[in-house]
Amino acid sequence: MALYLATRQCAKLNLPRILPQIRALQKSSVSSLVPLIKDPLSKQAQVVRNFSLTTPKLSSAQGSHAGLWTAERVLSLALLGILPAAIAFPSQPLDYALAVSMVMHSHWGLEAIVTDYVRPIIFGNVVPKVAHGVLLVFSAATLAGLFYFIYNDIGIAKAVRKLWAIKGQ
């Protein structure tokens, strides 16, 4: 993956224009780099700042995803309590909470997979949007099916208990 990102970033660079400036920076001493610190808008400072093989500039890198990351971790932690509580004390409210949390947890995980592996660089701009749309449809259908099962049948927790009660014959 790192090699792929490095080669993709090198392909985007205008190397004949940048290489002489990078060579000049490599040959210069530490004292000659002091003006770069004082004048961050100089051409050499811009070349150093823009030349990065390890941090790709992707459209998904825009904005802060810290809130979503925190919500994912809180939901994962909440699942550790909701799942045993729903199995130990079967009820419709706990079944609904279990259904919503399981679908959200799996949706966020699959969304990360789709974002990582169905990239616009490889598939173009249409296929990733279609993949995300299909994921939304499947997640909504899963949640609707679980709600239907909870409302019109025995519910998730009682179904799990019945499956555990089946003895080998």
87-120 per-position pLDDT tens digit: 999 999 999 999 999 999 999 999 999 999 999 9
The pLDDT of 81-87, averaged and rounded, is 95
The pLDDT of 111-131, averaged and rounded, is 94
Domain spanning 61-165: which CATH class is it, in words?
A: mainly alpha
Q: Residue 67's pLDDT band (boundaries 50, 70, 90)?
A: confident
Question: H or E stretch including 32?
Answer: helix 30-38
**Per-domain boundaries in the chain:** 2-50, 61-165
Which amino acid, residue 32? S
Pick left, alpha or beta for residue 39 (phi over 0 → left; psi -120 to 50 → alpha; otherwise beta). beta
CA–CA dist 137, 118 (Å, integer): 17
